[in-house]
Structure 1
């Protein structure tokens, strides 16, 4: 007597996979756009002068790193938003070495400037130049 195979278990299995796949997909009504997921935008030292688009709910992380050369140590102020109602600071601070890391969240539509200044701290016997170097990025939140 030979072995009989039935296709019934395969059909049931495929039907369950179809149900599970459709349950995992978000439901979107006809003519209604799905919501965009918030993203994280990371900005660093070389990004100065850029213009960056963002959306409400996005996180904008600014990571400015210090550096040293010829006995001069360059450190960063903590970056600031020109309009905290548009880009609100959610966390951040600086390290003793002079790094600064801040995260902002897009709260409402608008255009702001994120800014910080790089300052010099000399080693003993060294003299810093009098100039400070600004860091600025324009963020447009839609």
Structure 2
């Protein structure tokens, strides 16, 4: 009788000690790719389920600074933007999830703003682009 009780207790402890397999959640991230100003013109490879984090920093000049707009994906079905915003200092931040196999560009644009009286900005907009190939 004591043997059966110990066997049952051991089985019960083992059942609680072995963790159940966690269900695959949408939040399961295979990898995170971080992109910055220096990645302009690059192509990156990602897998479905990867996250891409974009942080573009303001570029200062003499009496001016170059500020960003919010990064966007050319193919939202391939890269789903989870959030995106322009910070008060002119930096831009966005997060994407690679949702489907395919190709999408992430683009943003920077423009000049005057920060000191007597200075002028050129009337041009500069583009930033990264091509993402999702496998």
Category of TM-score, reference length = shorter chain:
0.7 to 0.9
Q: Where do residues 92-103 of structure 1 align in structure 2 (5 Å cutoff)?
A: 92-103=84-95
Q: Distance in 1 between matches of 2:29 and 2:59?
A: 35
Q: Which runs of 5+ in 2 are unaligned?
A: 1-17, 22-27
Aligned to 2:46: 54
Q: Distance in 1 between matches of 2:34 and 2:84?
A: 13
Q: Distance in 1 between matches of 2:128 and 2:109?
A: 6
Correspondence for 2:121 among 124, 128, 141: 128
Q: Which runs of 5+ in 1 are unaligned?
A: 1-22, 27-35
Secondary structure of the equivalent of 2:75?
A: coil
| 1:36-87 Cα distance to aligned partner (Å, 9 max, x none) | 9610000000100000000110000110000211001110010000011110
Point out the structure with max Rg over C-alpha: 1
Report the CA distance between 1:131 and its aligned residue. Answer: 1.8
TM-score, normalisation: structure 1: 0.73
TM-score, normalisation: structure 2: 0.76
Q: Distance in 2 between matches of 1:117 and 1:67?
A: 12
Correspondence for 1:79 among 62, 71, 83: 71
Cα RMSD of the aligned pairs, angstroms, is 1.8
Q: Distance in 2 between matches of 1:75 and 1:37?
A: 30
